[in-house]
Chains A and B, each alone.
Chain A
Amino acid sequence: MSEHTMHTTPREWIRENIFLGKTVGEYIRSLITPFNIIAGAILAVGIPVILYRFLFGLGASTNLSDTNPWGMWLAFDMFFGVAVATGGFIMVVGVYIFGRDDYKSMVRPAILTGFLGYFFAIAGLVIDLGRPWFLPKPFIYFGTASVLFLVAEHLALYLTIQFFEFLPAAVEWLGWRKVRHHLHKIHIALIILGSVLVMGHQSALGAMFLIMPSRLHPLWYSTYIPYLFFASCIAGGLAMLIVESMISHKVFGHQVEASDHEKIHRMTMGLGKAAGYTLFAYFCLKILSMVHGFTWQHLWSGWGAWLGVEVIGFVVLPLWMFTRAVRTDSIKMVRAASIITVLGILVNRFNVVVIGLNWNAPEVYIPHWMEVMGSLTLVTLGVLAFRWVVNRMPVLYRLPEFPDE
């Protein structure tokens, strides 16, 4: 597929680049795999569910209430999805700003994961909004006193930036040399602007809760919450990079150059080390936030026990595992610790956005099955989009005719 000729007819180009060199019939037959059947089944239920939500409203498709107006679509798709999609940011800054060229082969898959992560997080938000067709209104009325305005502005800009960061791969696929050359010129500016936006909206997602001191449980409410969200999203992004590269190298192994298989071990260990440091920083911040807010007095309760599960099971344990794995050079343990870290971000975001929020209200929110299905559908679409792109564009490998400028 890295066969790339400039002098083909459009018909040949489509066959080569869209249908992977197969005829349409062959291509459709090649799609019948166990993975695709499961994905197809999820979409067959999930897409009608999303349509149902738009036709009959949030009341018919969710368990949201006046007391618990936020549910799974925000907690999972937006707060968790965005928190583990920072891999693209981490990689471009590491490689192009700090000059760690040894991680270069990870940049494109990381940007693609990041872009799709943000894209489907925003898709989740659109499903959750009461009036999604009014989405541009904040940019007309400028509610600048709102932390959510900051989030919206930064998310919109950063999604655009990630699109441009990934564009070189798409442009190489299309064979547009001149555009590729021009894109390279704005490269560093995009990365720096993107970094500012990531630090802005990741911390702002946490800062959204600053206004809710009486509604968020004191063990999670803290004036430190913007910084807790930022530290945890870096750990989550690093862990997700390790998980994503593990899966990519298993599923798309044939696309990866031989040298990269050797590199992957070294890169995984390096990222694991970084994730360990970040988790340690997060752990210190969390302890400090509780000392600062005198909230440790709430520890001797059921809520305290649950926080203990979150912090010991999903922060201290993976932190210990990363440390141990780096010492013993165990790639398996780094990967296991990464999976626990990603799950830890999930637990933390659910604790802040759903479980610990409105903790003293009598009503308890349990997601409707359609909410679970909607989130599952978006994840499936994200995975399918990732595979579609990786199978076509130079993401895991580089085209010889487009060396780095």
Chain B
Amino acid sequence: MAMNRRGFLKLLAGAGAAGAASVAKPSRASEEFEGYPDRYGVLCDISRCIGCRSCEQACNQVNNLGAPAESFDNDKVFETKRRTSSTAHTVVNKYQKENRPPAFVKTQCMHCDEPACFSACLAKAFDKTPEGAVIWNEHKCIGCRYCMQACPFYIPAYEYDNAFTPRVTKCTMCYPRIKDGGVPACVETCPMDALIFGKRSELITIARKRIINDSEYVDHIYGEHEVGGTSWMYISKQPFEELGFNMHLGTTALPKLTYGYLATIPVMHITLPIILAGFYVISKGRKVSGKDETKGVQK
């Protein structure tokens, strides 16, 4: 292609403009997913919970989970530590140390900002919605239960007794309700205001204020940074490690732990065939030239 001086200058000007435009954008692709900006969450103030289990009851009704084995006002359930199951998407456990008031801890899906279940699923059956809820899609799941193993909080449960359409079950943060402007059923029903629903960023401000204004609080918002941050967060006046919380989860979002390995796979797919083909050519060449020095029995 012939090009005169004027054309060349035009081209340079164009390239310069394109360069200037690209400066306005971030100079490097960001690897950090900082979460949907307006995502919701729930702040659970453990010091306010009295263990009435009305949240469990509300959850049971909203999700049509059927009559419970023990009625919701039976305190005997506190004798053992319970976990979430296919018939209870949230459970309250009691922790009592001598000469201390009992503490009640509500457990449910933490709705991680970067959920391990979401990344573990090979059929993309999980969604992290912009509202913050982590939800599961029945029509994609093949039932491998990798999501259950990946969850650091032991939350997803399985309908093992359902032979044909078993489901992975967990708290949805009442996604259908919050999409319509409502709040999760457990939050709505809590008589002690132990649960607050709102924008996650605002909840962190509320939690900080409470911790600053009352020195009895432990100076930690559980879920603010754990496994990269969760939508559901806790503050407490008793040490978290004594209330069944895992304090060793770290602050790295769990899916990130697999990215380094996954990135090596395409590299391997491209380089390994070339290396193997090279070995093939060498060993074939050796045979053709009659210099096969492998010691074994000839074919």
Contact = CB atoms under 8 A, between A and B. Distances in A.
A98 interface: yes
A211 B258 contact: yes
A355 to B, nearest CB: 14
Interface in B209-249: 246, 248-249
Interface stretch (B18-26, B176-184, B279-287): B279-287
B64 interface: no
A214 B246 contact: yes
Give the most central of A146, A215, A358: most B CB within 10 Å. Answer: A146
Contacts of B120: 146-148, 211
Q: Which range contains the number of A residues in contact with the other chain?
A: 35 or more
A131 B297 contact: no
A196 B149 contact: no
Given A131-B143, A207-B258, A210-B257, A98 B123 contact: no
Given A67-B83, A200-B269, A146 B146 contact: yes
Contact of B286 (A99, A102, A137, A358): A99
B255 A145 contact: yes
B149 A193 contact: no
A368 to B, nearest CB: 11
B190 interface: no
Interface in B101-151: 116, 118-125, 140-146, 148-150
B298 A101 contact: yes
For chain A, what secondary structure do more than half of its interface residues adopt (helix, strand, loop), or is it mixed? helix
A208 interface: yes
A238 interface: no
Given A100-B294, A214-B246, A226-B261, A142 B124 contact: yes
Given A130-B145, A141-B124, A56 B297 contact: no
Contact of A129 (B83, B116, B125, B142): B142
A214 B143 contact: no
Interface in A156-207: 188, 191-193, 195-196, 199-200, 203-204, 207
A331 interface: no
Contacts of A213: 250, 254, 257
Give the most central of B119, B165, B246, B297: most A CB within 10 Å. Answer: B297
Contacts of A362: 81
A5 B84 CA distance: 67
B246 to A, nearest CB: 6
A50 interface: no
Contacts of B124: 141-143
A10 interface: no
Interface stretch (A18-26, A38-46, A58-66, A382-390): A58-66
A30 interface: no
A397 interface: no
B272 A199 contact: yes
Contacts of A67: 83, 154
Contacts of A207: 258, 261-262
Interface of B: 81, 83-86, 116, 118-125, 140-146, 148-150, 152, 154, 156-158, 160-166, 246, 248-250, 254-255, 257-258, 260-262, 265, 268-269, 272-273, 276-277, 279-280, 283-284, 286-287, 292, 294-299
11 contacts: A62-B160, A66-B154, A67-B83, A67-B154, A69-B149, A99-B284, A101-B294, A101-B296, A131-B166, A132-B143, A151-B122
Interface of A: 54-60, 62, 64-67, 69-70, 93, 96-104, 128-132, 134-135, 137-138, 140-143, 145-152, 188, 191-193, 195-196, 199-200, 203-204, 207-208, 210-215, 223, 226, 259, 262-263, 266, 270, 357-358, 361-362, 404
Q: What 7 pairs between A and B have smallest CB-CB spacing? A: A102-B296, A130-B143, A99-B283, A59-B160, A57-B163, A69-B145, A59-B161
